[in-house]
Amino acid sequence: MAAASTLLIYGATGYTGRLIVQQALTRGLTPVIAGRDEQALRAMGDAYDLEWQAASVDDPVLLRSMTASAAVLLNAAGPFATTSAPLIDACVATGTHYLDVTGEAGIVEATVRWHDAAVRRSVMLMPAVGFEVVASDCLAAHVARRLPGARALKLGWDKSQTTSRGSLRTSLDLLAQGVLVRHEGRLVSVAAGSLAYNFDYGYGPQISVAVSLADVSSAFFSTGIPNIETYMRATLPVWGAVTTAQYWGWWLSTPLWQAILKAQIDCLPPGPSSQERSAGWATLVAVAEGVSGRRARSRLHTGDVYGFTALSAVGVVEHTLAGDWKPGFQTPSRVYGPDFVLSFDEVSRVDL
C-alpha cells in the first residue's frame, strides 16, 4: 500500500489544478505536484516550495513509480479521455486511491471497469469530485431520498461564469456526439436541441436545454433512478453552442476545424479572473418523478464553480486520507451521503 498521507496532484499547473493546489495548502496539506510540463512544474514547485515530478501518461512505468509513493492521486489534467485510464491503471497497480475532476459521463462510465480490481487492491476510484458532480450528485441523492422509487430525474444548472480553456477543449471533443441521457438504465444519445425543460432557479421558470453532463452516469449509480436528463439554462451562449452542435457539429468536429478552434481557445484567458470568481455563483435544481406523477424538487445554491471544485476536491482528499473511503468505484453521495455538499462554505439547499 502507498504512503499513508501523501497527496499527489496531477495536472497541478492547469487553471483548475492551481486552484486545487492553493486550497490544499490552505488546508495544511503539502501535495506533490505532477504533470506533463516540466518547465511549468519546476516554476510552480519553486514558487510554493513543493516537490514536483514530470510524467507523461504515455509512460506506464514512470506513472507507477510516481503513484507508488502516494496515498491519493487527484487528477486535474484534461482531457480526461487521455489521462484518466493510464492514471487509474497506475493507481490500481500501486494501491493508490484515485480521484479526478472530470465532468464527462463517459469517463465516469469507463472508471467502473476497474471496480473489481480496485476492490481487490483496497483502493477507491472516485471520478468527478469537483462541482460536477459533488454538488449535483448530492442534490440528486437528496431528491431520491425524498421520493423513494422515483423513475425519472431531471437536473438543471445555471451559473454566472465563463468556462475555462480546458473545459472548452473538452466540449470541442464532444461536439458531434449528441446529448447523452439515461433511458431505462441505458445511456443513449439524442439530438442536440431536442429536449427542453423549465426549471425554477429562484427567479421563476426558465427554459433550459439538455446537455451532456456526468450526472447521467454518476446519479444513476448513486440513486438507481433509470431515466436521467441533464440541462443548462438556455442563455445565449448555451443556445449558440446547442445550435452549432445541431447543425454544424459534424463539420466542426473534423480534424482541420478542431485544430482551428483549439488554436482560438488557446488565445483566451485560462479561466475566470479572481474578481469573477469572488462574485460567481451557481444554482442547481433537481426534479425526481415517480410513476404516480408525484414529484420531489430541490434547489442548491453555491459560490463560484471553480472555487467550489477546489473546495470539494480537497474535501474528498481529506476524508480519504483520514480513512473515510470505500473500495472500488464510488460516487460522492454513495460514500459521504446527500448532505456532504452542505459541509462547504456558501452552500444552501431548499426543498421546493
Q: Which domains does the chain have, with CATH numbers?
A: 7-129+307-336 (3.40.50.720), 132-305 (3.30.360.10)
**Contacts for 57 with CB less than 8 Å, ≥ 6 apart:** 36, 63, 82, 83, 86, 87
How is residue 194 written as a grid cell? 431536442
Between CA 229 and CA 235 the distance in angstroms is: 18
β-strand pairing of 227-233 with 281-289: unpaired
For range 247-273, the mean pLDDT: 53
pTM above 0.75, yes or no: yes
- The string of pLDDT tens digits covering residues 49-86 is 999 999 999 999 999 999 999 999 999 999 999 999 99
Percent of the chain with pLDDT over 70: 84
Residue 180 has pLDDT above 80, yes or no: yes
Q: How confident is the model at residue 270 (pLDDT cuts 50, 70, 90)?
A: low
For range 18-22, the mean pLDDT: 97
Q: How confident is the model at residue 274 (pLDDT cuts 50, 70, 90)?
A: confident
Between CA 68 and CA 205 the distance in angstroms is: 51
Q: Residue 274 class from Cβ within 10 Å (0-12 exposed, 13-18 middle, 19+ buried)?
A: exposed
Q: How confident is the model at residue 1 (pLDDT cuts 50, 70, 90)?
A: very low
Residue 239 has pLDDT above 90, yes or no: no
- The string of pLDDT tens digits covering residues 184-238 is 999 999 987 788 999 999 999 998 989 899 999 999 999 999 999 999 888 756 5
Count of helices and strands (H, E) across the chain: 14, 16
The closest of 170, 19, 9, 18 to 80, measured between CA atoms, is 170
Mean pLDDT is lowest, of 14-23, 134-143, 161-170, 316-325, for 161-170
What is the reported pLDDT for 205?
92
Average pLDDT of the chain is: 88
Write the DSSP symbol of residue 6: -
Contact 318, 166 (CB under 8 A): no
For range 15-29, the mean pLDDT: 97
Q: How confident is the model at residue 271 (pLDDT cuts 50, 70, 90)?
A: low
Between CA 149 and CA 334 the distance in angstroms is: 17
For range 326-347, the mean pLDDT: 97
Task: Report CA Rg, the chain.
Answer: 19
Residue 256 has pLDDT above 80, yes or no: no
Q: How confident is the model at residue 169 (pLDDT cuts 50, 70, 90)?
A: very low
What is the reported pLDDT for 3?
44
User: What DSSP assignment string belongs to 71-85?
Assistant: SEEEE--S-HHHHHH
The closest of 213, 221, 219 to 103, measured between CA atoms, is 213
**Contacts for 92 with CB less than 8 Å, ≥ 6 apart:** 98, 114, 117, 118, 121, 123, 125
For range 102-120, the mean pLDDT: 97
What is the reported pLDDT for 272?
72
Q: How confident is the model at residue 279 (pLDDT cuts 50, 70, 90)?
A: confident
What is the reported pLDDT for 277?
74
